[in-house]
């Protein structure tokens, strides 16, 4: 499996009282992954959705480390939607974006798009670049940061 992390940046959000929700800065993470034969689980050579959720977990962990210097603990997934099947040989681009934070919680929205589709019907190693990325999964995750790991914001 090949995994690449691309552009990740952080912009500070305006200060808010400690226990209130606040808009998060633009902290993002990105992975590009090729699914392999070992990922196939269901009949018809379909990869299980849990494989995509594990990729989402990696994004949430990276974002939490960038924000707080700690991996945090994944508390929940919500609004999980599987919209298309994925197969071994497909390439996925998986993106996460921090959308909200409280003192101890971080909320991350994630999407996974298929950008290259395996085409084993043509020949075993055939694949094709899709004209447009195809959404295969979207979800929101909430992670909890241990109190002692929360970074204190410096005042200007």
Q: What is the pTM of this model?
A: 0.79
Residue with tokens 């974006």: 97
8-55 residue pLDDT tens: 443 333 333 343 444 556 899 999 999 998 888 888 889 999 999 999
| pLDDT of 108 above 90 | yes
In 61-154, beta strands by DSSP E: 73-82, 91-101, 105-118, 127-144
What CATH code is assigned to 3-8+21-146?
3.10.129.10
Q: What is the pLDDT of residue 25?
A: 62
Tell me the domain boundaries of the chain: 3-8+21-146
State both tokens at 20.
């209130």
The mean pLDDT of the chain is 84
Angle at 106 between CA 105 and CA 111, to 5 degrees: 145
Closest C-alpha to 85, from 127, 124, 52: 52
């Amino acid at each position: 499996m090949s995994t690449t992390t691309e552009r990740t940046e952080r912009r500070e959000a305006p200060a808010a009282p400690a226990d209130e929700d606040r808009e998060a800065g633009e902290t993002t993470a990105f992975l590009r992954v090729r699914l392999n034969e070992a990922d196939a689980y269901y009949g018809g050579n379909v990869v299980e959705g849990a494989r995509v959720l594990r990729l989402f977990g990696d994004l949430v962990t990276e974002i939490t480390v960038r924000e707080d210097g700690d991996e945090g603990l994944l508390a929940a997934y919500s609004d999980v939607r599987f919209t298309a099947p994925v197969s071994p040989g497909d390439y996925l681009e998986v993106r996460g974006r921090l959308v909200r934070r409280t003192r101890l919680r971080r909320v991350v929205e994630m999407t996974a798009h298929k950008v290259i589709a395996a085409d084993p019907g043509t020949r075993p190693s055939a694949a094709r670049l899709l004209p447009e990325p195809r959404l295969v999964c979207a979800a929101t995750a909430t992670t909890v940061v241990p109190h002692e790991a929360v970074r204190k914001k410096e005042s200007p």
